């Protein structure tokens, strides 16, 4: 499965750079799940030209996270449905064996 390159909005980058003023680079990187090199590059770009920094059209990561969570919920729902059906079949099989009488349960042991 190919990894997709993440893109971020200008507002996200500005907020991240702003957080660097009050918190360490490593901590902000961990909290935002970013590489420290990326934060350093954003900080440098902002310091060189604050008005023109981050002029791209990045994607909001929170929207991607919501889509990922919705996808995960869908997968888990399918798994739960599958497991419910499997459990139902096992229960039906067990009840059927109990009603008919399994030959294994009626045999006596040869030991005395």
Domain extents in the chain? 1-59, 71-100
Q: What is the pLDDT of residue 86?
A: 95
In this structure, are residues 13 and 54 in contact, taking their beta carbons and an 8 Å threshold?
A: yes
Q: What is the pLDDT of residue 37?
A: 94
Q: What is the pLDDT of residue 7?
A: 82
pLDDT average per 10 residues of sequence, the chain (112 residues): 77 91 91 92 89 68 74 94 96 91 58 62
d(CA 31, CA 110): 67
Q: What is the pLDDT of residue 42?
A: 92
Q: What is the pLDDT of residue 111?
A: 65
Q: What is the pLDDT of residue 81?
A: 96
Among the listed residues 16, 18, 20, the one whose alpha carbon sits nearest the alpha carbon of residue 32: 16
Q: What is the pLDDT of residue 83?
A: 96
d(CA 56, CA 64): 17
- Considering the domain 1-59, what is its CATH architecture? Orthogonal Bundle (1.10)
């Amino acid at each position: 499965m190919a990894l997709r390159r993440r893109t971020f909005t200008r507002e996200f980058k500005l907020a991240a750079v702003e957080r660097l003023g009050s918190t360490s680079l490593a901590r902000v990187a961990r909290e935002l799940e970013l590489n420290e090199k990326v934060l350093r590059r954003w900080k440098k770009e902002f310091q060189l030209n604050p008005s023109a920094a981050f002029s791209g059209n990045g994607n909001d990561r929170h929207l991607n996270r919501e889509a990922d969570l919705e996808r995960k919920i869908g997968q888990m729902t399918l798994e739960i449905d599958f497991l419910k059906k499997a459990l139902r079949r096992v229960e039906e099989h067990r009840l059927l064996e109990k009603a008919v009488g399994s030959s294994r349960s009626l045999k006596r042991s040869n030991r005395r």
